[in-house]
Amino acid sequence: MNGSRINADGRRRRLVVVGGDAAGMSAASQARRLAPELEIVVLDLGPHISYAACGIPLLLDGTVVDPAVLTVYSPASARAERDLDVRTGHRVQTLDVRARKVGGVVVDTGEPFELDFDRLVLATGARPVRPPLPGVDLPGVFVVRRLQHGLDLRAELDARQPRRAVVAGAGFVGIDLAQALRARGLAVTLVKDRATPLLGLEPEVGAVAEEALVRNGCLLLRGAPLYGIDAGPDGHVSGVRAGGERLDADLVVLALGVRPCADLADQAGLRLGPKGAIDVSPCCQTSESAVYAAGDCATQVHRVTGRSAFITQALAANRQGRVAGANVALDLGGAAGQRQPRPEHPGALGTAVLKVFDAEVGRTGLTLAAAREEGYDAVVTVITDRTQPRYYPVGGPMKVALIAERRTGRLLGAQVAGHPGAAKRIDTLATALHAGLDLAALADLDLAYAPAFSPIRDPILVAARAALKRI
């Protein structure tokens, strides 16, 4: 055993990871690959680790029957295959960065625990917003963030057979859950607190998603903030008050966004960033050199603005976890490791796609409003085209919105929406943003053509040419 990995007290050097999902397990796995002699302990509050949270709606609508298929590792397989000491049901409550200790309780027994660490990775994720309103804790009111949340909601659907649901929040998560509930036969109403376009999209693009919701039987109330949730005679939820209306409901799902779980970091005096997320360097190091943070609890650099931002994204969480784990391995690997370059996270764009029943939407980078808030003299160009040529037997309309800087033509953001085949075009636009392309370069891209996939001039190229003319 390498002596550089033994502490003065004779124990192996220890990495403690708080949080066992995307970022945490990526950090632990990467540290294990690069530093096989480390002791690695992963602490998680829930019973599940390393699962695909984006698959939870499929668990609700019946597409996925066995929840095990959503997990990459169970606690047992992580121990056996990766030599990771995974401890579920552990609530971490204290962090002493000077003494390098974390402490808390074992949920099932109430037994306290304390662990020393040489390096710590905080991968505590984000928590769903539960507004302090009457009735939010009633039976029949759910949030969906963790796998256990999804299992609890599925059990409710199976046991009580509710007929009417209200989804508070019409973002990516709210719309995904609304579709799952419609697939179960429920009447679904989405309530949105602001009268703004769906999903933060430009109005013409957001309208595609809105029309798809209505066309498929959902009621959408915009500008209807949630005021309270009512109980029926049995104490179970019976309705909600939103805007100026009362809506009957047997089931309520709160999808009002998330906040970073940064309480431990805040209590320990670590520096926080936008939205209260843990401020980290590109190496995922916090303001305390022995502590790293990754995933939805941490900041990351927005690739368009170059500024620190709070972006919740599964891919970015995995990448940050790998960066944190690699740097921990270098920290604890002795002098030879210190001479190696330190990995850095490249930043993110907030790229996202969503199927909205029979429509698709995607976005990346800044919206027009966000670009102007950042100080850009930005303009938006929206075009309507088709996913395939008109003569092809399948295909349909799609919209492309490009947000660009007026003076330079620099691409700042993009959105797509429409017929199936529209959404994944956002990947081309995200690549252009990542590479820093302007509209002229975007318009000159050599994109593939065949009638089964696109018109001879892909809608992205049509939008780029239209935007060039505008500026």
DSSP annotation string for 185-231: T-EEEEE-SSSS-GGG--HHHHHHHHHHHHHTT-EEE-S--EEEEEE
Residue 110: in which H helix or E strand, if any? none
- Helices 203-215/172-183 angle, 10° precision: 20
- Give CA–CA dist 29/23, Å, rounded: 10
DSSP annotation string for 69-102: GGBS--HHHHHHHH--EEEESEEEEEEETTTTEE
- Give CA–CA dist 349/366, Å, rounded: 8
Pair 333, 35: CB distance under 8 Å = yes
Neighbours of 441 (CB within 10 A): 14
Pair 50, 21: CB distance under 8 Å = yes
Q: With 0-12 CB in 10 A as exposed, 13-18 as middle and 19+ as buried, what is 169?
A: buried
**What is the CB-side half-sphere exposure of residue 346 using CA atoms within 13 A?**
8
Pair 28, 22: CB distance under 8 Å = no
- Give CA–CA dist 427/464, Å, rounded: 15
Strand, helix or coil at 429?
helix
Question: Closest by alpha carbon to 41, among 69, 2, 64, 13?
Answer: 13
**DSSP code at position 171:** S
- Which tokens sit at 113? 């625990």
Residue 162: in which H helix or E strand, if any? none
DSSP annotation string for 128-150: E---S-TTTTSTTEEE-SSHHHH
Clarify whether 54 is annotated catalytic: yes
Burial 389-424 (b: 16+ CB within 10 A, else e): eeeeeebeebbbbbbbbeeebbbbbbbbbbbebbbe
Catalytic site residue from 54, 218, 284, 297:
54
Pair 125, 297: CB distance under 8 Å = yes
Residues involved in catalysis = 54
